[in-house]
Amino acid sequence: MNYPKLILGIMVLMALTFILINTSFAQTNWVKYEGNPVLEPSGYDEYVGSPCGIKDGEIFKMWYSGGDEDAICYATSTDGINWQKYGGNPVLVGDEGTWEDGEVSGPSVIKENGIYKMWYGAKGIGYATSTDGIHWTKYEENPVLKVGPSGSWDAGEIGYPSVIKEGQIYKMWYEAEGEEGGEFGSIEEQIGYATSTDGIHWTKYEENPVLEVGPSGSWDDLAVGSPCVIYHEDIYMMWYGGWSSKFDHPSSIGFVTSLDGINWKKYEENPVLSSIGLSYETTPGDPWVIQDGDTLKIWYSEKECIYYAYEGLECSTWADVKNKISCFRNGQCTLRDVIDCFREWRATDTGR
């Protein structure tokens, strides 16, 4: 057997796989729902954000951060657009005088064998289970994932987990920062990885973080966090919040792919959902993505509300391009939105 040729063939196949991953998503476009936001503050909620959830049968189920202080609330929908909040919200609150310090947020939920399993952030990452998605029992020995030792990259805070189960292994990606991090630090959050056989006892990847901030001057050069990971057709796909050191740190949403969940390749045309405003309150972040049939759908935080977008072609005609230009002139779209729209139109039969 010619082993050098075999090895070369494997390397070429891996390279082509990465090219195909990025090419397949080069035409992916998020179309924002015209009736946004789909979930607004009301009743118990002074704000809503950090959505996550599942599609359980024909029902979309969302858990999100809300309230006057951080707590976790619940809502359901038959279409992902019109949401009904649970009348007894919140469904999970932080206990005062404990490791939670009265606040919980950024949940990640899966359903396994009829049991809902939630991982959530506080002063570490906690775990809870439920039979109905409403009444939760916290694990007695929480937190199940703690901050790292002094001087480590995650010695400051950890939270915003994204958990999937692949085979018999639970896999978690999470946001963390070091002791010297902070709202105006040179580097804030980055993304780490951990695995578990039971969802409770976790082993952090020794070479964390697996997703770092971008180079100076890039759109995500200050921080990356709030990951959302799905696994489809042997490819890991992550959407994440990125923060820039420019313009009072506006956030956007980026996209990366991986073959192993550890080594990630950023999409060359990131971000995929961009900032329009120049403050935390007017920019997208905290993505939650699911694959519903053949369509990807995303919910995300913006303006203390939850917004929705779906995968599709937004710019298939020249009229669509002109509408996007008008949107830019009115200050409701970015120049990047116009460029992306023009490229999408050019890729269609009518634009060639």
What is the domain-level CATH number for residue 113? 2.115.10.20
Domain match, 220 and 326 both = no
Exposed e or buried b per residue across 285-310, where buried means at least 16 C-beta atoms within 10 angstroms of its C-beta = bbbbbbeeeeebbbbbbbbbbbbbbb
pLDDT of residue 313: 62
The answer to the question of residue 182 being in a domain is: yes
The answer to the question of residue 23 being in a domain is: no
Task: Work out the angle at residue 287's Cα, subtended by the Cα atoms of residues 286 and 290, and round it to the nearest 5 degrees.
Answer: 150
pLDDT of residue 95: 93
The answer to the question of residue 11 being in a domain is: no
Q: Which of 312, 327, 342 is the last residue of a domain?
A: 312
**pTM score:** 0.82
Phi, psi of 348 (to 5 degrees): -85, 165
CA nearest neighbour of 183 among 101, 243, 254, 271: 243
The answer to the question of residue 5 being in a domain is: no
pLDDT of residue 101: 87
Instruction: Please compute, for residue 310, the number of CA atoms within 13 A of its CA located in the half-sphere on the CB side.
Output: 15
Domain match, 130 and 279 both = yes
Q: What CA–CA distance (Å, rounded) separates 195 from 141?
A: 18
Do residues 208 and 154 lie in contact, with contact meaning Cβ atoms separated by under 8 Å? yes
Exposed e or buried b per residue across 97-107, where buried means at least 16 C-beta atoms within 10 angstroms of its C-beta = eeebeebbbbb
Q: Which residue, chain included where needed, has tokens 């796909």?
A: 237
pLDDT of residue 1: 56
Please give the C-alpha separations between residue 214 and each of 26, 32, 163, 184, 262, in angstroms, as whole numbers.
20, 26, 24, 16, 17
The answer to the question of residue 122 being in a domain is: yes
Do residues 100 and 106 lie in contact, with contact meaning Cβ atoms separated by under 8 Å? no
Domain match, 212 and 338 both = no
Domain range spanning residue 337?
A: 314-352
Which pair of tokens denotes residue 337? 């939105």
Domain match, 283 and 318 both = no
Domain match, 286 and 320 both = no
Q: What CA–CA distance (Å, rounded) separates 121 from 138?
A: 13
Domain match, 289 and 340 both = no
Domain match, 147 and 192 both = yes
CA nearest neighbour of 284 among 63, 37, 26: 37
3-state helix, strand, coil in the chain (%, to 5): 15, 40, 45
DSSP label at 211?
B
157-166 vs 169-177, strand pairing mode: antiparallel
The answer to the question of residue 22 being in a domain is: no
- Residue ranges, the chain, pLDDT below 50: 8-27, 182-185, 278-281
Domain match, 144 and 248 both = yes
The answer to the question of residue 54 being in a domain is: yes
Domain match, 241 and 338 both = no
The answer to the question of residue 18 being in a domain is: no
Domain match, 225 and 327 both = no
Amino acid at 310: Y
Task: Work out the angle at residue 224's Cα, subtended by the Cα atoms of residues 285 and 139, and round it to the nearest 5 degrees.
Answer: 80
Domain count, the chain: 2
Q: Which residue, chain included where needed, has tokens 């009072």?
A: 248
Domain match, 176 and 64 both = yes
What digits encode the pLDDT tens for the residues 74-92?
999 999 999 999 999 999 9
Domain match, 144 and 89 both = yes
